[in-house]
Amino acid sequence: MTHGDHYTYRVTWSAEDAEHVGLCAEFPSLSWLAPTPEDALSGIRQIVSETVSDLFANGEPIPVALAERHFSGRLLARVPASPHGALATEAAEQGISLNRLVSAKLAV
């Protein structure tokens, strides 16, 4: 089994380090610096694979890949009263539910 093939990877530029940094959403504490984006991706994939192998060998829980998680579509969020009121007003002015307005804004 190749560990980490289904995880969510991203490569970005680190101005502080003057190198590309490979990241994995499911393992936010891990990163890999490299001179090229390809090397940063390869490096982070390798360290995630090694980490998953270590977790497995020690009987520790292994994070489920975001792509393999089930999302219900239900999202509860707390916001300050002022933006909540502004959103409710905007929804009322558009003649739609607050849920529909927030869903539309998140879809952008």
What does the pLDDT look like over 58-98, one tens digit per residue?
999 999 999 998 889 888 889 999 999 999 999 999 999 99
SS (H, E, C) 20-81: EEEEECCCCCCEEEECCHHHHHHHHHHHHHHHHHHHHHCCCCCCCCHHHCCCCCCCCCCCCH
Instruction: Give dist(CA 26, CA 84) in Å, integer.
Output: 31
Bridge partners (DSSP) listed for residue 94: none
Residue 3 has pLDDT above 60, yes or no: no
Q: Which of 44, 51, 2 is nearest to 24 (CA)?
A: 44
pTM above 0.85, yes or no: no
Domain boundaries, the chain: 9-67, 72-106
Q: Name the band, by pLDDT with cuts 50, 70 and 90, for residue 5.
A: confident
Instruction: Give dist(CA 33, CA 15) in Å, integer.
Output: 11
